[in-house]
Structure 1
Amino acid sequence: MPARALMVLGTASHVGKSLLTAGLCRIFRQNGWRVAPFKAQNMALNSAATPDGGEIGRAQALQAEACELAPTTDMNPILIKPSSDQTAQYVVQGKVWRNLTARDYFSFRVRELFPRVLESYTRLAEQFDLIVLEGAGSPAEINLRDYDIVNMRMAHAANAACLLVGDIDRGGVFASLVGTLVLLDEADRARIRGTVINKFRGDRKLLEPGLAMLEAHTQRPCVGVVPYLPNLKLDEEDSVALEDRQTPARIWKSLPNTPERPLRIGVIALPWMSNFTDFDALAAEPSVALAFLERPEDVAAADVIILPGTKQTLHDLRYLRERGFVPPLLAHARTRPLVGICGGMQILGQRIEDPTGAEGGGWDEGLGCLPIVTVLRSRKWTTPATGRWRPPTLFGQPAPNLRAEGYEIHLGETVYAPGAEGLFDVVRATGEQVVDGAVSPDGRIIGTYLHGLFDDDNFRHHFIAAVRRMCHLSPAESLRSYRSERRQRLDDLAAALRTALDVTRIERWLAA
């Protein structure tokens, strides 16, 4: 018997579809369903590596975690990673397929790619009782309806009961829910079984007249009003979530100038920053005040600077020069720690070359902080990995048997200058063993290809302790267990949704 299917659609992007899908996955798993997530097509620079060496959207990896599953490429068969305003890299079933303009992609996706989407969905549906699908953007993008493979076309293919979600926090929720249904054709509209209002703040009684009118207009039940849930600290799907990111003006100016104060970690807000969830675990630590830096003058106030991953390394290197970041970054590196993750490490090297046009072609001198040269290639490394720390110290502090778990997602081969030292001995999920990263001769500047290494509690705690001591700050009074707290956050999300949603009615739809 094929799996039952429930689909979470939204009236727009960033209305909360991804987290609602994760929460519903958790509820159904707790209720005894063998459940898996699925999103036919995702657009995000925030991605995750699967154990089989593929790449999917970070949100689907979180949803798999909610189901207590290892992520697979079938859960997100098409991942679109923008590389400019007009072009993107297309990852199909976990592997890079092509770089195309949006116009060219439209001519391919229904004819060539939807069959591959169905292949992935069918494999999942054969293994599980229930698939919880997530849509993208809005199903009522009437100019794109003929090319849609992620919303209603997928809903029909999966025979899915659909929930339509609107975000009341951004205003206009009743108009957006009603308007979306009006713009759908009759067959699509029939798939929508009920509506959900998300991110509600205030007195529920004041909302009741609107809910009654909504149900009258739509002829469908509103199966829940989900409250605004702050501080969930679960992965966001894409950079839209960075609109609310912390800035130095918001958090650093109020910090006391005492040895007990939080560590000021500054992440440079590169235009093409990818995998910004690398820093969620650091930001959750009470002994850390993490901010995203958009102005060169903010660099001087940071104890630690991190250059994050980027989808366009050469572009963002030139951005740093044009915006005046390079002098303060180099000044910072003379006395305080500087860290590069993936593309950020490549920027810290001596040179970046792109002979095959993997990111547009050309070359440029790096910042010269690490003794490496990067040659970008068309091959992409995507794999979970475990690293064993090579240097005897971390920022001057002993680092015996220090390890970190993370994942690689990168283009580029690192060529070491004579005498250069690697940072980790890495074992990839494939069993391959390689040297990763680099460290400056004075030990203050480090770089690695490992995303997610700060999610590793042991490594993060060592990192914080070493940097605080280097900056003459007192030891952290408390440290978080991020991984166990993450499981609890998923349970908390599920508990909140159980209270807010009519889960019994939704399960009846699945049994029909």
Structure 2
Amino acid sequence: MKGIMLQGTGSDVGKSVLVTALCRILARKNNRVTPFKSQNMSNNSYVTVDGKEIGRAQGVQAEAAKTEASVYMNPILLKPRSTMDSEVVLFGEVYSTYSGRSYRERFYQKGMEAIQHALTELAANYEYLVIEGAGSPVEVNLNDRELVNMKVAQLADVPVILIADIERGGVFASVVGTLQLLSEEDRKRVQGIIINKFRGDIRLFTDGVSWLEEYTGVKVVGVIPYYDHISIEGEDSLSIHNSLIKEGKRNNTGLDIAVLALPYVSNYTDLEPLAAESDVFLRFVKEKSEFGHPDAVIIPGTKSTFHDLKYLKEKGLDHVLVNYTENGGTVVGLCGGYQMLGERLIDEAGSDTNQVGNEIHGLNIAPLITFFNAKKITIRSEGKLVADQWKCKKEISGYEIHLGKTTATAANVEPFLMVGDRPEGIYINDGKVIGTYFHHLFHNDEWRASWLNKLRTNRGIPQREVLDLQEFRDQGYENLADHVETYLDVEYIFHTIEGWKENG
């Protein structure tokens, strides 16, 4: 298989975004292209069509590549459960939970085998591979057992493009330092440098390009200006605020939606469709003083419901939220946020807290009890809205990733959805309180428009037409590809990909 790997001088330099752009650039030339990231660390996951779990970024990149996401695009997903431990998802299914040290000591060989298998599977189905690295390839204390940077480039035998973020400052030192710390063999693999997130007049960096090329002997293949209009989903919590909050968007004529900023938030891309709505302002609330008077509150999913519920209580946000709902406020709880709405949460299997039988009181906003099981549910789901008030089609699609099982503790509690014969979620006070395990709820265009229009009516502002999110997303991929292609020497990239094997 032919391919290219994008590595960075550090985290959050733009690797995910540029991989997405390259996937679309290659795909619109009618190439069969696939993204690949051997090991991803993120609580923001994506469920494949066969009900398996991979990193959200690879799901998005597959969409940009105009192909169906699969577990081979991200064979290893690490989902942090605390500052020390992470759940390991291998080929889409939970494998084990490790501390950082035990993961390096006990999983390395298994990981290498998984990566090689994934590369073999992708090679059988695609022409081009666009690989994303993680962090920096010169973390010298970790490189003897790394699974995501130069080791992967060696296994796939592809050239590497090094990305540096000029917005951070110190771009020359970060590029030169990275190259000097690479082994001679790995340094030869680096065939280009991209300077990303440039602000101002690019012509002022001409001398910088010349100096880098002369000093390092590596071609600068692009200086990419900062892109203000990016509308693709971010990979993890490092990009959450940039991807969702639009500066200057908030005003008195739009909707104010508060999102509780949970420490272990997961699948925050559930909220991205709301950010696409031009009159919606999303803001993240960490303190009581920030709560204000929102039109709606969203409690997102979390990788540790117990931990984040305790966090809300420590901050006093539980009392603020209860008072808000008692005074007619609108609240939506998604997955872990849905579990928090209830009366009690019991870690029956120790799967959330590692303590069998651990128990905590919920927010007591809804008559619910949640038991945490040992086996995770990971499925794509279709449901039908139960209430008649929604001015939209009844069918709702989404996916479920959860350990808990939540049931009502009171009679005649109306569910939010029916999934076949199974009631799902909760619907209280004409939809003022909604709880559901359905991730991607807001990706349902008609329902999202109906929910927002109810809020707009409450505020006395005009209702809006349905926004076609898929069209919006696809246009976002096109715009991103156009932007990158304008400033990137794409012909050099293609030549490097095509000529690597024969010249290597």
Query: The TM-score by the shorter chain falls in which range?
Result: over 0.9
Residue 73 of structure 1, CA deviation: 0.8
> For 2:222 and 2:317, how far apart are their aligned partners in 1?
47
1:84-95 alignment runs, 5 A limit: 84-95=82-93
Note if contact 1:345-1:447 (Cα within 8 Å) is conserved in structure 2.
yes
What is the count of residue pairs matched by the alignment?
494
Q: Give deviations 1:354-387, integer Å, cap 9, x for gaps.
A: 1211111311111111222111112112222222
Q: Which amino acid in structure 2 is aligned with residue 390 of structure 1?
A: V
* 2:235 is the counterpart of 1:237: yes
Residue 472 of structure 1, CA deviation: 3.8
Note if contact 2:88-2:98 (Cα within 8 Å) is conserved in structure 1.
yes
- Normalized against structure 1, the TM-score is what? 0.93
Q: Which amino acid in structure 2 is aligned with residue 53 of structure 1?
A: G
Note if contact 1:299-1:332 (Cα within 8 Å) is conserved in structure 2.
no
Residue 479 of structure 1, CA deviation: 5.0
* 2:362 is the counterpart of 1:383: no
Note if contact 1:165-1:195 (Cα within 8 Å) is conserved in structure 2.
yes
Residue 443 of structure 1, CA deviation: 3.7
Q: Which amino acid in structure 1 is aligned with residue 40 of structure 2?
A: N
Query: Of residues 342, 363, 366 in structure 1, which corresponds to 2:362?
Result: 366
Distance 1:205 1:401, change over 3 A: closer
> For 2:456 and 2:360, how far apart are their aligned partners in 1?
34
> For 2:303 and 2:18, how far apart are their aligned partners in 1?
28
Tell me the equivalent position of 1:82. Answer: 80
Note if contact 2:231-2:243 (Cα within 8 Å) is conserved in structure 1.
no
* 2:306 is the counterpart of 1:308: no
Q: Give deviations 1:1-49, integer Å, cap 9, x for gaps.
A: xx11210111101000001001001011112211101100001111111
Residue 246 of structure 1, CA deviation: 6.9
Query: Of residues 443, 450, 470 in structure 2, which corresponds to 1:462?
Result: 450
Distance 1:148 1:246, change over 3 A: closer
Residue 300 of structure 1, CA deviation: 3.7
* 2:439 is the counterpart of 1:451: yes
Note if contact 1:81-1:89 (Cα within 8 Å) is conserved in structure 2.
yes
Q: Give deviations 1:304-353, integer Å, cap 9, x for gaps.
A: 01111011101111111111111211111121211100000000011111
* 2:50 is the counterpart of 1:52: yes
* 2:337 is the counterpart of 1:350: no
Q: Which amino acid in structure 2 is aligned with residue 482 of structure 1?
A: L
Return 5+ residue gaps in structure 1 as ranges.
Answer: 428-432
Note if contact 2:38-2:115 (Cα within 8 Å) is conserved in structure 1.
yes
Q: Give deviations 1:185-220, integer Å, cap 9, x for gaps.
A: 011111111110111111112101111110112111
Residue 247 of structure 1, CA deviation: 7.5
Tell me the equivalent position of 1:125. Answer: 123
Tell me the equivalent position of 1:430. Answer: none
1:219-258 alignment runs, 5 A limit: 219-244=217-242, 255-256=251-252
Note if contact 1:251-1:289 (Cα within 8 Å) is conserved in structure 2.
no
Note if contact 2:446-2:466 (Cα within 8 Å) is conserved in structure 1.
no
Q: Give deviations 1:110-139, integer Å, cap 9, x for gaps.
A: 212210121111101111111111001010
Q: Which amino acid in structure 2 is aligned with residue 381 of structure 1?
A: I
Tell me the equivalent position of 2:273. Answer: 281
Tell me the equivalent position of 1:295. Answer: 287
* 2:481 is the counterpart of 1:483: no
> For 2:43 and 2:339, how far apart are their aligned partners in 1?
18
1:187-206 alignment runs, 5 A limit: 187-206=185-204
Residue 476 of structure 1, CA deviation: 2.7
The percentage of counterpart residues that share the same residue type is: 39
Tell me the equivalent position of 1:30. Answer: 28
Note if contact 1:410-1:449 (Cα within 8 Å) is conserved in structure 2.
yes
Distance 1:38 1:434, change over 3 A: farther
C-alpha RMSD of the superposition: 1.8
Distance 1:400 1:453, change over 3 A: closer
> For 2:217 and 2:479, how far apart are their aligned partners in 1?
32
Q: Give deviations 1:446-467, integer Å, cap 9, x for gaps.
A: 1011111112211110110122
Note if contact 2:392-2:446 (Cα within 8 Å) is conserved in structure 1.
no
